[in-house]
Structure 1
Amino acid sequence: MPPTTSTSEALRPIVVSGPSGAGKSTLLSRLFEHYPQRFGFSISHTTRAPRGQEKDGVEYHFTTRAAFLKLVDEGGFIEHAQFGSNLYGTSIAAVKEVRDKGRCCILDIEMEGVKQVKKTDLNARFVFVQPPSVEVLEERLRGRGTDKEEAVVERLAKAREEMEFGRGEGVADLVVVNGELERAWGEFRGFCVPDEGI
């Protein structure tokens, strides 16, 4: 069956949000692996330091606080927020670059960013990914071994707030509870690629 989604609809940006450790990165990695020519990732700016093998311009645009705030003053962000002691933001240029390539732009952003995007004319679709419970999330975060104890506690507190927000009326077009990966992937893929009729 040929795709029925119009070009305009297919290029509507997709905002993916959810607590750190909910499995967004795993789902997004699969999406890009299966559809390398259909989607493009909006690479966010952040003032946090790279983790592990992260590279500048790949996972994030790693920048200084001063440079980040300068871009805020210049109106260069669609959304930006502070998470912990670090700043994160999605630049207008990053989204435009993806669309100019004829691809659907994926934005992986925090709760405050979602609120800001909803006030813009971006005409995005929203999917919220969450773990089955805060307890499962805590296991995942501690299993990473990348954060100090105080950072884990901070992330868990933020996750509770985000999960309550994500389930709110009108926040997300789809909420994916990522407990069993294959089921979660099926829901996520069906939302992002609706013309396949999954």
Structure 2
Amino acid sequence: MSLGASTPAARLKKPSWKDPRLLVGLLLVLASIASVAAVVGNADQTTEVYAARETLAVGQPVTGDAVVKVRVRLGDLEPTYFTAAQALPEHQVAVRMVGKGELVARSSLGRVDALDRKPAGLNIEDALPKEVVVGSRVDVWVSLPDAKNGYAEPQLLLPGAEVAALAPGSTALGATKATALHVLVSDAQMPKLLGALANKAKVAVVWNPAGGK
């Protein structure tokens, strides 16, 4: 063969739709797109539900002003919460404390007659531990006056009572060293507490780290 001779370049064959390699590549692209779409779709499966705007105390009426709407992923738990797609039921109160930002579960609301505990006010003159906050548990002790112008031995009246509210109170002289404490009391316990308060009992509360147990 002479050096001046040249061999014609091989021409590329135009791919055909019947080419198996082209079909396999197309299927892989479509599968990849479907997988990405499924991942994005699953990531966006959130539900708009209600959360407490501020802490909801037991017995507090719960209306649209008391809640905010948030989007969360609930999955199978969705039926246990109120979704924003439906309005909150009317004439409902909190039957348990709902903390600020906590999702409003269906079990946390009910009618007033469903309450099995009611808040009772206590004026506490002694300083409270920092752990005593709304939602914490305390033991309420009472000491009844005796015949010697003193007080009888303290008795545990309300073990593990839930704190519903607390705020600066006032003493007889108008000072603000005392604390107005509201605890949740059952109907069965209420007569004993009211009787102790009516008899000028001295009341003390002790933080109960074990809660209601």
Q: TM-score, normalised by structure 1?
A: 0.20
Looking at secondary structure, tell me which structure has more helix per residue: 1
The answer to which structure has the higher strand fraction is 2
Task: State the structure with bigger RCO (CA 8 A, min sep 6), 1 or 2.
Answer: 1
Question: In terms of Rg, which structure is larger?
Answer: 2
